[in-house]
Amino acid sequence: MDVTRLSALSDAVMDVAKGEDLKTSLNRVIQNAVLITDCTYGALGSITADGTLEDFTFVGMSDETADEIDTFPEGKGLLGHLLAVPEPLRVSIISEHPSSVGFPKGHPLMSGFLGVPIRIRDELYGSIYLTQKRNGKSFTEEDEKLVVVLASAAGVAIDSYRGHIAQNQVAVLAERERIARDLHDLVIQRLFASGITLQAIESDPSLSVEVYGKIQSVLDNLDSTVQQIRTTIFALLDEHPIVDLRTLIMSEVASLSTTAGFQISYSFLGPIDTVIGEDLSNQVIPVIRELITNAIRHAEANTIDLVVLANQTYCEIRVIDDGKGYIPGERKSGLLNLERRALARGGEFEILGSAIYGTRTMWRVSL
């Protein structure tokens, strides 16, 4: 292995270890893998708890080309093989491998394949996929060894990110306990004292019927408020792991704002962190990323607004921009994937556009 490639690998590993947000770090992994192996296309796919391909980030392909591809990668063919057999895989001619299923309509033809799994200890996180060496030859054993090292660096970066989130969860739990204690010791006790005072006044026989009725109404409201606060205290003291979805969304928006060149606004409606479970949380971020990325790429917008809403019945994501408007009939692979995600959870996906007010998208699923 020549010194130049070893130096490039060292730089790539240091690049991943810079401590940036996870999305940026993983994107650097793919870029560096493409650079070190001197290939044309690269991608990184993560998997869900049930072992299917979930998120998919790529380099080397233009946005316009990606939009023309009929279906989003679903973990079939060689990608599916790597999920089932998570070991490094080198293939000279993709179509000749037993697991090959061909390319979807609109997908550029590719020759040569190198896939390397990303592990976090004993857990399979996903894989790095590389295709088409620029010199027209097959990927080498040396290429494989270099990418294996990069995949290990990616695993460390992901593990470190999760550790940071876990530390935040501990801090949030401590803060929740303090708030619960203050609610009990200060708020509820004062409400009880107010109730006792009103009950003493209520016993005055000189009170008119009207005043007595008003006092009774206030007492009923106080009792209802106390019950609501007690429910809140129990929820705050629930020590189940926290899926800090708000923080993840804000981090994603910050990254996308850098890409857009302006600050994307966002707002939350409802108990986002308490009613959206981990399984749905893993879908919310890719959905937000796809909707906002589409607005950045195609809308020529000056403003983009994100709203994430959750209640006891459903979760809804809205993205509104002031761009040139969506053209009906243009259902690219990314949009079709969003629609499939929504339908799979008993939900819906809607996109409306006008040259006057821009584009409005709505993705809603049942909880």
Cα–Cα distance, 286 to 245 (Å, whole number): 12
- Given a contact cutoff of 8 angstroms between Cβ atoms, the answer to whether 61 and 41 are in contact is yes
Give alpha helix (H) positions in 115-202. 141-182, 189-202
Cα–Cα distance, 115 to 44 (Å, whole number): 10
- Given a contact cutoff of 8 angstroms between Cβ atoms, the answer to whether 96 and 118 are in contact is no
Looking at residue 236, its pLDDT comes to 62
Mean pLDDT, the chain, rounded, equals 83
> Could you tell me the pTM of the whole model?
0.60
Cα–Cα distance, 129 to 89 (Å, whole number): 10
Looking at residue 239, its pLDDT comes to 55
Cα–Cα distance, 44 to 51 (Å, whole number): 15
Is pLDDT of 151 > 70? yes
Is pLDDT of 78 > 60? yes
Q: Which two tokens stand for residue 165?
A: 């989130």
Instruction: Calculate the alpha carbon distances from 310 to 50, 228, 316, 317, 363 in Å.
Output: 24, 19, 6, 9, 12
Looking at residue 111, its pLDDT comes to 86
What dihedral do alpha carbons 283, 284, 286, 290 form, nearest 10°?
130
DSSP 3-state assignment of 330?
coil
Cα–Cα distance, 276 to 199 (Å, whole number): 41
Please enumerate in sequence order all residues whose Cβ is within 8 A of that of 91, keeping only pairs 6 or more positions apart, or say none: 78, 97, 112, 113, 114
Per-residue pLDDT averaged across 72-88, rounded? 85
Of the listed ranges 88-102, 105-119, 162-176, 278-292, the one predicted with least confidence: 162-176
Cα–Cα distance, 153 to 81 (Å, whole number): 23
Percent of the chain with pLDDT over 70: 87
Is pLDDT of 237 > 60? yes
Cα–Cα distance, 263 to 255 (Å, whole number): 10
Per-residue pLDDT averaged across 90-97, rounded? 92
Per-residue pLDDT averaged across 79-91, rounded? 91
Looking at residue 17, its pLDDT comes to 65
Q: Which two tokens stand for residue 139?
A: 């990927």
- Given a contact cutoff of 8 angstroms between Cβ atoms, the answer to whether 41 and 165 are in contact is no
Phi-psi region of 279 (alpha: psi -120 to 50; beta: other; left: phi over 0): alpha
Q: Does domain 245-366 have CATH number 1.50.10.10?
A: no
Looking at residue 41, its pLDDT comes to 94
Looking at residue 242, its pLDDT comes to 47
Homologous superfamily, domain 3-164: GAF domain (3.30.450.40)
